[in-house]
Amino acid sequence: MSQHNTPEITTLSSEPGYVAARRAAALLDRRTRGRIVLSGAERASYLQGMLTNDIVALHAGQGCYACYLTAQGRMISDMWLFELGDVMLMTLPGTTRETVLGKLDQFIFSEDVQLGDVTDSFSSLAVLGPDAPRIIAGVVPDVTAEQLSRLDEGGNLRTTIGGEPAVVLRVGDAGVAAYELLVGPAQYDACWQAMRGAGAEPLSDAAAETLRVEGGVPRFHRDMDEETIPLEANLEGRAISQSKGCYVGQEVIIRVLHRGHGRVAKRLVGLRVVGDVIPAVAAAGAPGGLIRSSERDIGRVTSAVYSPACGGPIALGYVHRDFVAPGTTVTIDGVTATVTALPFVPASAAA
């Protein structure tokens, strides 16, 4: 697949939503996310044996990022877990929701755990940017900007809007500081308009993708999939507890970390591209841009955007482990690029 230049992306520096996400507050529709609720006294201990992070360490109002693996250490999905107090909420890609729900249900035997698919019970909008706490507090009763600002990633607050249950989540997959508001479907439009009235700017999907890549955040079924070991996607620092007990796929992870000193065959890296042409990404069965060093094929591009913050095209891609050092020069379909430490842009950076 050839490289391409997309005018809609290259002019993002003037899009109000992109600028607002960096300097003020922007709005993004998140209704495509899947949502599963786990209840029962043993919900945390059950997930502890299934997922990569330390779920039993979570208290009400806390959360974490985690992966669900096969016994071979490959990813079934990534997800966020939010302990709400009497139930635990799992949010995950809509493309993996049914698979994860089915597998979790399959392995419940005598445990006091109940599963519920609440994807259609809530609608979700994200508020991104440094001014997000003020915008949300102006719309959601009984929640202050100070409370929201103090939330760590995974933090959450339960509240009501119009007498109906609502939840505010502090999320970490947007590339910038962001919160997700879960409301009843009937309340979605009114909440969106209230946020707009408070000053938040709508964010296009293209701009949201740019912020994600600038933040170095891999996305399932784009930068990782069912063949990915989470260490290849650099998830060990966020999604994997190295002190908890056994979980599905742990043996593979421990073997790589301790016996292999963390070395995997390939790693996801950032790439700054010379010029103004955006590398090709995988689509319709075609692979992403070919990454080479001299005459050697060393990897493929998985995500690519034009970055206003970086002033040019940037990409995420997997390269052979011998070429992951920042500063390494490679080519992408013949165009020079440089391996770059992630994130390209810190989450707190202004446009």
Q: Per the structure block, which two tokens stand in for 155?
A: 């933090």
Amino acid 3: pLDDT: 52
Amino acid 342: pLDDT: 97
For residue 165, the SS3 value is strand
**Could you tell me the CATH superfamily of domain 34-117?**
Aminomethyltransferase beta-barrel domains (3.30.70.1400)
Amino acid, single-letter form, for residue 148: L
Q: Which residues contact 30 (CB under 8 A, 6 or more apart)?
A: 124, 125, 126, 180
How far is it, in rounded angstroms, from Cα 29 to Cα 61?
A: 23
DSSP string, 280-341: P--BTTB--PEEEETTEEEEEEEEEEEETTTTEEEEEEEEEGGG-STT-EEEETTEEEEEEP
Amino acid, single-letter form, for residue 202: P
CB 166 within 8 A of CB 213: no
Radius of gyration of the chain (CA): 20
Amino acid 210: pLDDT: 96
Number of helices and strands (H, E) in the chain?
10, 17
Q: Which residues contact 230 (CB under 8 A, 6 or more apart)?
A: 52, 67, 69, 73, 75, 78, 224, 236, 239, 240, 253
How far is it, in rounded angstroms, from Cα 68 to Cα 77?
A: 6
CB 25 within 8 A of CB 179: no
CB 307 within 8 A of CB 212: no
DSSP string, 80-99: EEEE-SSSEEEEE-TTTHHH
- Averages of pLDDT over runs of 10 residues in the chain (351 residues) are 45 82 97 98 98 98 98 98 98 98 96 97 97 96 95 96 94 97 96 97 96 98 97 96 94 89 91 96 89 97 96 97 97 98 88 58
Indicate if the alpha-carbon torsion angle 296, 298, 303, 309 is positive or negative.
Answer: negative
For the chain, the structural domain boundaries read 25-31+121-199, 34-117
Residue that has been written with the tokens 């929701």 in this structure: 97
DSSP 8-state code for residue 228: -
Which fold, 25-31+121-199?
Gyrase A; domain 2 (3.30.1360)
Nearest alpha carbon to residue 269 among 322, 348, 347, 206: 322
Burial of 9-21, coded b for 16+ CB within 10 Å and e otherwise, reads bbebeebebbbbb
Query: Chain-centre distance of CA 65, in angstroms?
Result: 9
Give the bridge partners for 127, in sequence order. 27, 179
Nearest alpha carbon to residue 278 among 228, 209, 341, 203: 209
